Amino acid sequence: AQKITQTQPGMFVQEKEAVTLDCTYDTSDQSYGLFWYKQPSSGEMIFLIYQGSYDEQNATEGRYSLNFQKARKSANLVISASQLGDSAMYFCAMIRSASKIIFGSGTRLSIRP
């Protein structure tokens, strides 16, 4: 079965530290994409980063990077130098086709000053 697992329901991190949010997935497809979204307390879904299954290099977007380990089926989000504004829910998602998009249950990240 296709599945996205985020094993950390909540995390606390000190400001300016790096943080890794875990995401593992299960699919038998060869072509797929992995996304991370941020959902602050205001509720909107903010796109952070995307990794395609055939991309050889890990995706990076500013302070965000995706540690993609295809053999282990993991797509962890790394946030460098965390900021107070990074406090939010973070969702990992996998897309295999337009009809097959699934989300993990999310990780609530709290940054301590």
Partner 1 sequence: DAGITQSPRYKITETGRQVTLMCHQTWSHSYMFWYRQDLGHGLRLIYYSAAADITDKGEVPDGYVVSRSKTENFPLTLESATRSQTSVYFCASLAGTYNEQFFGPGTRLTVL
Query: Which residues of the shown chain bind partner 1 in the complex (CB under 8 A)?
Result: 31, 33, 35, 37, 43-45, 47, 50, 52, 91, 93, 95, 97-99, 101-106
User: C-alpha distances in angstroms, 106 versus 17, 30, 41, 43, 89?
Assistant: 20, 24, 13, 13, 6
CB of 14 to partner 1, least distance (A): 27
Name the residue among 29, 37, 36, 23 with its Cα closest to residue 73: 23
CB of 43 to partner 1, least distance (A): 5
In the numeric block, which tokens belong to residue 57? 């290099």
Task: Report which DSSP code applies to 86.
Answer: G
Which CB sits closer to partner 1, 11 or 101? Answer: 101
In the numeric block, which tokens belong to residue 35? 């996304």
CB of 20 to partner 1, least distance (A): 19
In the numeric block, which tokens belong to residue 32? 């797929």
Contact 113, 23 (CB under 8 A): no
CB of 49 to partner 1, least distance (A): 9
